[in-house]
Amino acid sequence: MSRIGKKPITIPSGVEVKVIDAKVLVKGPLGQLEWTLNPGIQVQVADGIVALTRESDSVKLRALHGLTRAEISNQIVGVKDGYQRDLEVMGVGYRAQIQGDDLSLSVGYAHPVSLKLPQGVKATVDKQTLITLKGIDKRVVSQIAAQIRELKIPDVYKHKGIKYAGEELRKKAGKAGKK
């Protein structure tokens, strides 16, 4: 069996997990999420524990077993506590600001770049250089953070760009030049 897939998930107080047809509904104080089960994966909820099983040992089902367990676990944490991802904007004149539901970034291009935030993700900007993304779905929060970072990947020579908070960047030396 999958090492991750066979681990049971404990349901914390305040969170409710239901299996309806081929969907797992997770409801908590911050909201509700759902996951569609793949054929061959079964979920049982009993006594505050979620257990997953699979029909066979095919390669596809073994992979989906662990994936489904991880996704349901992430959803339980998301509706209970939520997820947060922090980004830093580095560079002279680089800044970020919130305009309605959009995040506007001035990151060295001739025009500001505007990015529409998806439903369920809230962004705050502190000191025009720190972006905080919050939401209940780990996949969506991480994906939008990756899209923001991709707008201006940090430069290894000048350290200009958008990086994750706490990300260590190695600065490269430039060319030595003629003497």
**For residues 150-177, average pLDDT:** 82
CATH topology of domain 9-80: Outer Surface Protein A; domain 3 (3.90.930)
Task: Give per-residue pLDDT as tens, 7-48.
Answer: 888 888 888 888 888 898 999 898 898 888 888 888 888 888
Q: What is the mean pLDDT of residues 76-92?
A: 89
If you count them, how many residues does the chain have? 179
**pTM (predicted TM-score):** 0.81
- 42-70 pLDDT, tens digit each: 888 888 888 888 888 888 888 888 888 88
- pLDDT of 1 reads 45
CATH number, span 83-164: 3.90.930.12
For the chain, the structural domain boundaries read 9-80, 83-164
Angle, CA 141 vertex, CA 139 and CA 145 arms, to 5°: 115
Cβ-in-10-Å burial (0-12, 13-18, 19+) of 5 comes to: buried
